[in-house]
Amino acid sequence: MPRPDPRRRPPQDRGPRINHQIRIRQIRVIDEENQQLGVLDTADALALAVRKGLDLVEIAPNQRPPVCRIMDYGKFKYEEKKKEQASRRKQHQVQVKELRVRPGTGEHDLQTKVKRARDFLEGGDKVLVCCLFRGRQMAHKDVGEQVIMEVVKHLADVAKIEAPLRQEGRRMVLMLAKK
């Protein structure tokens, strides 16, 4: 099997082309202080970048002629990575927290569960209020609906109904989201 020629590289599939990967004859060049140097031959622009100890990076390949910037590519990649990590840290993934009640749930137990649901909603999460029925309780769905509506009434100042009350087998569910 013949060895691959080290001068011929496969086309780069991601990221901008840098230095010798830029194949077009003339490019528009921007220096490290964001000053336009005009349209130059690629070889001249590359020599200028090497003289300054920096890289020639293609930033707008679809323009005619393509736009290239003289910059420290390693530093640029490092700063991009840091920005991405910082934005990921600031994101909050909304989770759905479940609040389970039963038709016979007592008033004090309900107050405790409502307090937890309030914390979830203030934290930016959604709350799925779920009433579970057993055996003969299925004949009294209205009692379960009253319990769920009691929870909604207690959370009316911080929550709005996102999905209406619906029956799913032996469960009655309602989705709440932060106002």
> Would you say residue 166 lies in a domain?
yes
Q: Is the pLDDT of residue 2 over 70?
A: no
Q: What does the pLDDT average to over 56-70?
A: 87
68 and 140 assigned to the same domain: no
> Would you say residue 1 lies in a domain?
no
54 and 75 assigned to the same domain: yes
**pLDDT at 138 (0 to 100):** 87
Residue 109, H or E segment: helix 107-122
Give the number of domains in the chain: 2
> pLDDT exceeding 90 applies to what percent of the chain?
40
Report yes or no: 128 and 98 within 8 Å, Cβ to Cβ: yes
> Would you say residue 6 lies in a domain?
no
104 and 52 assigned to the same domain: no
> Would you say residue 13 lies in a domain?
no
- Confidence band of 109 (pLDDT split at 50, 70, 90): very high
Last residue of a domain, one of 46, 62, 88: 88
Residue 42, H or E segment: helix 42-52
> Would you say residue 119 lies in a domain?
yes
108 and 160 assigned to the same domain: yes
The mean of the pLDDT values for the chain is 87
**pLDDT at 6 (0 to 100):** 61
> Would you say residue 2 lies in a domain?
no
70 and 111 assigned to the same domain: no
Last residue of a domain, one of 60, 88, 116: 88
Q: What does the pLDDT average to over 77-100?
A: 88
69 and 121 assigned to the same domain: no
Note the pLDDT tens digit of each residue in 4-27. 666 666 555 567 888 888 888 888
How far is the C-alpha of 38 from the C-alpha of 36, rounded, in Å?
6
Q: Which of 177, 162, 179 is nearest to 125 (CA)?
A: 177
Q: Is the pLDDT of residue 94 over 70?
A: yes
Q: Which residue range forms the structural domain that includes residue 81?
A: 19-88
**pLDDT at 5 (0 to 100):** 63
How far is the C-alpha of 72 from the C-alpha of 68, rounded, in Å?
13
